[in-house]
Amino acid sequence: MQVQIRAEPFDPHAEMGRYQAGLQSRGAMGAAASFIGMLRDHNEGAAVREMQLEHYPGMTEKHLLDICSAAMSRWPLIDCLVLHRTGRIRIGETIVLVATWAAHRGDAMDACRFIIEDLKLRAPFWKKERLEGSERWVEKNTSGYSL
Amino acid sequence: MQVQIRAEPFDPHAEMGRYQAGLQSRGAMGAAASFIGMLRDHNEGAAVREMQLEHYPGMTEKHLLDICSAAMSRWPLIDCLVLHRTGRIRIGETIVLVATWAAHRGDAMDACRFIIEDLKLRAPFWKKERLEGSERWVEKNTSGYSL
Amino acid sequence: MAITVKFFARLREEVGRADDVVAFEPGLSVTDVWRSATHGRAMPESLLVAVNMAYARGDVELRDGDEVAFFPPVTGG
Amino acid sequence: MAITVKFFARLREEVGRADDVVAFEPGLSVTDVWRSATHGRAMPESLLVAVNMAYARGDVELRDGDEVAFFPPVTGG
């Protein structure tokens, strides 16, 4: 189980591959699920230039570990990984990677979804968007579906 | 949209990263979801040594493209990718990669799940497990949850 | 002219071959092709059928040159 | 002794500082700390509170040395 706050850009595919390669129980793993969140160039009707992402050092890591522990006790997971960016984020860069491993696909996918939904709802991060000539704090996270 | 049958082992993380890097609409992508299926060393109470995976050349590719098209019309996806192994597969090797890209997380995750569930239910592939001293055809796919 | 027949997986092993050819005649159904190619073997309950690489039912009437495939429940992914 | 107070994101900008210290006294609640640190500013309806890095309610009674954080709805991921 690993949770990291990253101040620098990272390659989510390479990170997930590297983490998976380090897992012991290869023969027990039948399924891996991942979610990657990236910075779009549009949000709520406005063109976004870049973003500043703030967190609560100490509490954020603790909360992400709590989410992962909750997922590990609710589903028979083999492991899970959460990497989350902070600082200045450019269009297309990865904001978050959530990855889960299990024997069976339903457990891996349900747990991955649970982690990202809980993270969106409760993990202490705050986004400030830089638009053309102005800035704004993102008010709240949306349901995750296009309108 | 890409669908490929692979007779040789592949790295699903590298493949997903390479495919994503080739996508045009980077600024529109807010979410990527993936599912990776791997060969476990146990199935239905028996130790599995390796697996032989058979498909129906022509129909399998066509069916996977149909599944992806159905997902693309049901959800506002930017793109999707399905890679599936055939031939002799060893423990820990990747059997299938499903990856989806969308503006929003719900669409990416729902579509990814739809594709793997439909693939499991209807795509023409057949698994024959080599056990200790015997072989057996896998009778049917399970619900994807541990018992 | 003829109907091309294919068997996959366990069914291929049980029938003893992967491919076959059945003479076409007007009104021929998928079930007729099964009977002819397997010499009257009972159709397994869980049998899946594809005609020209699309899932089909046993009562589908065939056209000359069609490809008919028989296979057990799929187990990919 | 004292209570450490933290403000994040929009709230940090509005209050004008990231950190503060409030003198501890027995019976002090989270709401008391908010009033003291913001000089009576109204508590936003959507305000979130953490005590010692765990989510808490406004009526929680504090202990000496506690860290109290105030922040708006979270927007990570």
Domains of chain C with CATH codes: 2-71 (3.10.20.30)
pLDDT value at position B25? 80
pLDDT value at position C13? 96
- Which amino acid belongs to residue C55? Y
Q: Which residue in chain B is spatially nearest to C53 when comparing CA positions? A: B59
Identify the H or E element spanning D9.
helix D9-15
Q: How far apart are CA B113 and CA B49, in angstroms?
A: 28
Place of tokens 């807010």: B30
Q: Which residue in chain D is spatially nearest to A39 when comparing CA positions? A: D77
CB–CB of B53/B95 below 8 Å?
yes
Q: How far apart are CA A28 and CA A78, in angstroms?
A: 8
pLDDT value at position A138? 96
D1 falls in which pLDDT band (50, 70, 90)?
confident
Listed residue (A116, A67, A92, A65) closest to A9, CA to CA: A92
Measured between alpha carbons, how far is residue C48 from residues A20, B146, C12, C44, C62 in Å?
Answer: 37, 27, 13, 9, 16
Q: Which two tokens stand for residue D42?
A: 């109204």
Range scoring the smallest mean pLDDT among A4-8, A26-30, A86-90? A26-30
Q: How many CA atoms lie within 13 A of D72 on its CB side?
A: 19
DSSP state letters, B5-20: EESS---HHHHHHHHH
In the structure, do chain B and chain A come into contact, i.e. share 3 or more CB pairs under 8 Å? yes
A146 falls in which pLDDT band (50, 70, 90)?
confident
pLDDT value at position D54? 98
CATH H-level superfamily of B2-20+28-132: Molybdopterin biosynthesis MoaE subunit (3.90.1170.40)
E strands, D8-76, are 19-23, 48-51, 54-55, 67-71
Query: Touching check for D65 and chain A: CB below 8 Å?
Result: no
Measured between alpha carbons, how far is residue A139 from residues A125, B36, C9, D64, D66 in Å?
Answer: 12, 34, 55, 33, 28
Low-confidence residues of chain B: pLDDT under 50: none
Query: Touching check for C8 and chain B: CB below 8 Å?
Result: yes
Q: Which of B138, B142, B143 to mutate to test the interface with C (most CBs of C within 10 A)?
A: B138
Distance of alpha carbon B87 from its chain centroid, rounded? 15
Q: Does B141 contact C74 at a Cβ distance shorter than 8 Å?
A: yes
pLDDT value at position A147? 72
- Pairing mode, strands B87-90 and B46-55: antiparallel
Q: How far is B70 from chain C (nearest CA, A)?
A: 15
Q: How far is C32 from chain B (nearest CA, A)?
A: 22
Q: Which residue in chain B is spatially nearest to A120 when comparing CA positions? A: B105
Helix (H) and strand (E) counts in chain C: 2, 5
CB–CB of A19/A2 below 8 Å?
yes
C26-36: per-residue pLDDT in tens? 999 999 999 99
Range scoring the smallest mean pLDDT among C41-45, D4-8, D68-72? C41-45
Q: How far apart are CA D34 and CA D25, in angstroms?
A: 14
Kindly state the average pLDDT of the residues A125-135.
96
Q: Is the reported ipTM for this assembly greater than 0.90?
A: yes
Q: How far apart are CA B86 and CA B55, in angstroms?
A: 7
CB–CB of B94/B142 below 8 Å?
no
Say which DSSP state D61 is in.
B
Listed residue (B99, B94, B92, B142) closest to A107, CA to CA: B142
Name which of B29, B33, B144 is nearest A104 (Cβ-Cβ): B144
Q: How far is A10 from chain B (nearest CA, A)?
A: 12
Chains that touch D (3 or more CB pairs under 8 A): A
A87-110: per-residue pLDDT in tens? 999 999 999 999 999 999 999 999
Place of tokens 């703030």: A54
Q: How far is A52 from chain D (nearest CA, A)?
A: 10
Q: Does C75 contact B139 at a Cβ distance shorter than 8 Å?
A: yes
Kindly state the average pLDDT of the residues A17-37.
95
User: What is the pTM assigned to this prediction?
Assistant: 0.96
More confident residue, A116 or C40: A116
Kindly state the average pLDDT of the residues D14-18.
95
Q: How far is B27 from chain C (nearest CA, A)?
A: 31
A46-79: per-residue pLDDT in tens? 999 999 999 999 999 999 999 999 999 999 999 9
Q: Does A17 contact B14 at a Cβ distance shorter than 8 Å?
A: yes
pLDDT value at position B26? 81
Contacts of B122 in chain C (CB under 8 A): 55, 74
Q: Does B126 contact C55 at a Cβ distance shorter than 8 Å?
A: no
CB–CB of D75/A125 below 8 Å?
yes
A25 falls in which pLDDT band (50, 70, 90)?
confident
Q: How far is A29 from chain B (nearest CA, A)?
A: 6
pLDDT value at position A56? 98
DSSP state letters, chain A: -EEEEESS---HHHHHHHHHHT-S-GGG--EEEEEEEE--SEETTEEEEEEEEEE-TTHHHHHHHHHHHHHHHHS-EEEEEEEEE-EEEETT-EEEEEEEEESSHHHHHHHHHHHHHHHHHHS-EEEEEEETTEEEE------SS--
D19-68: per-residue pLDDT in tens? 999 999 999 999 999 999 999 999 999 999 999 999 999 899 999 999 99
CB–CB of D30/D58 below 8 Å?
yes
Q: How far apart are CA A129 and CA A113, in angstroms?
A: 25
- Which amino acid belongs to residue B41? D
Residue A26: is its pLDDT beyond 90?
no
Interface of A with D (CB under 8 A): 37, 53-56, 58-59, 62-63, 84, 95-96, 116, 119-128, 137-141
pLDDT value at position A4? 98
Residue A23 buriedness (CB in 10 A; 0-12 / 13-18 / 19+): middle
Angle of helix B12-21 versus helix A12-21 axis, rounded to 10? 180
Q: How far apart are CA A49 and CA A132, in angstroms?
A: 7
Q: Does B76 contact A146 at a Cβ distance shorter than 8 Å?
A: yes
